[in-house]
Amino acid sequence: MTNDLDTLLTALYVEIDDHVVPPRRGRGRRPRLTDAELLCLAVAQVLLGVDNEHRWIRFAYCRLGHLFRYLPNQPGYHKRLRAAAPILASAIGHLARASPSWCDSLRLLDATPLPCAASRETVKRSDSAGSGGYGFCAAHTRFYWGFKLYLLTAPDGMPITWCLADPKIGEREICLDLLTIAVETGVLAPGSTVLADKGLAGRDIEGQIANLGLTMLRPDRRDEKARHGNLGGVRQWIESVYNSLKGQLGLERHGGRTPHGVFTRVAQRLLALAAAIWHNWNTDAPDKRSLIAYDH
């Protein structure tokens, strides 16, 4: 098995069709583009870096026409992709469980800003006004309007679980809820070690996480005794995951205009990352998070 986009899409289609998409029952005309084919088309769009859906459909006819028996027009693709948000989330979970890194006891947890608007007038007209909010991006020293993405990954970058939240809500509250749900649903096994940042410092939050059966590691603050050091080398792993999502997969260019649309676009990019890592494991690629073989 080789590392190229055509091979990835073929293997992904078989995996999703066999294990993720429920079998179709009942009467009625079958869709010309199946759900498994739709997800493969969505993954290809992200890996090839085409953010505009009108341009993507035109480009797909030339680049992927030999792989798909039917390609929809832009409105049909947009409607099908929005309706497929639950399948996108299910596919991410399945690929995570099918990868060897699922058995790793170390998990990486971090959050990043997800801007959705750049002007006050856009914020007023946005359909996400009731869900998003203003937040501060320390990396760029600026305020933004939108959501905050909380992501729990394996050491190789495989997405394990994630959520979108209003930036005004405290990180401790969201991270604790995310870890609690992950433990209750079996996504995060008791006894796992979660590597977080300095924002989760404090006896209360550490005690609550310990009650979940988890061990939390974080860089030491300057005003406390040395325990774990700065953990810079390992913390860089999750930073590089976000760098791949923003740079190669266009996370900040999602183009979502509603909460459901933003969720779908983020899930689309996380599925593309998960598919690449899963395929790199299957082909024994040396760098499991490399996307170079699939971006052309």
Cα radius of gyration (the chain): 20
Judge contact between 163 and 174, C-beta under 8 A: yes
Judge contact between 121 and 273, C-beta under 8 A: no
Q: Is residue 41 part of a domain?
A: no
pLDDT in the model for residue 129: 59
Judge contact between 159 and 151, C-beta under 8 A: yes
φ/ψ (deg, to 5) at 116: -125, -10
CA pair distance 94, 46, nearest whole angstrom = 19
CA pair distance 51, 56, nearest whole angstrom = 7
For tokens 């006896």, name the residue: 203
Q: Is residue 85 part of a domain?
A: no
pLDDT band at residue 130, thresholds of 50, 70 and 90?
A: low
User: Comparing 273 with 127, which gets the higher pLDDT?
Assistant: 273
pLDDT in the model for residue 141: 79
pLDDT in the model for residue 64: 94
Q: Is residue 207 part of a domain?
A: yes
Q: Is residue 63 part of a domain?
A: no
Q: Is residue 123 part of a domain?
A: yes
Q: Is residue 244 part of a domain?
A: yes
The residue segments making up the domain with residue 128 are 108-252
Domain count, the chain: 1
Q: Can you tell me whether residue 130 is helix, strand or coil?
A: coil
CA pair distance 34, 18, nearest whole angstrom = 12
For the ranges 119-123, 132-136, 242-246, the lowest mean pLDDT is seen at 119-123
- What percentage of residues in the chain have a pLDDT greater than 90? 69
* Contacts with 127 (C-beta within 8 Å, 6 or more apart), sequence order: 257, 258, 259
User: Roughly how many angstroms between the first and final C-alpha of the chain, as a whole number?
Assistant: 18
Instruction: Report in angstroms the alpha-carbon separations of 110 from 45, 170, 178, 186, 286.
Output: 26, 13, 11, 20, 25
For the ranges 60-69, 122-131, 140-149, 177-186, the lowest mean pLDDT is seen at 122-131
Q: Is residue 176 part of a domain?
A: yes
pTM of the model: 0.94
pLDDT in the model for residue 125: 65
Judge contact between 88 and 269, C-beta under 8 A: no
**Residue 144 maps to which CATH number?**
3.30.420
Q: Is residue 268 part of a domain?
A: no
Judge contact between 95 and 153, C-beta under 8 A: no
Sequence length of the chain is 296
- What percentage of residues in the chain have a pLDDT greater than 70? 95
* Contacts with 113 (C-beta within 8 Å, 6 or more apart), sequence order: 135, 137, 144, 146, 148, 149, 167
CA pair distance 296, 292, nearest whole angstrom = 8
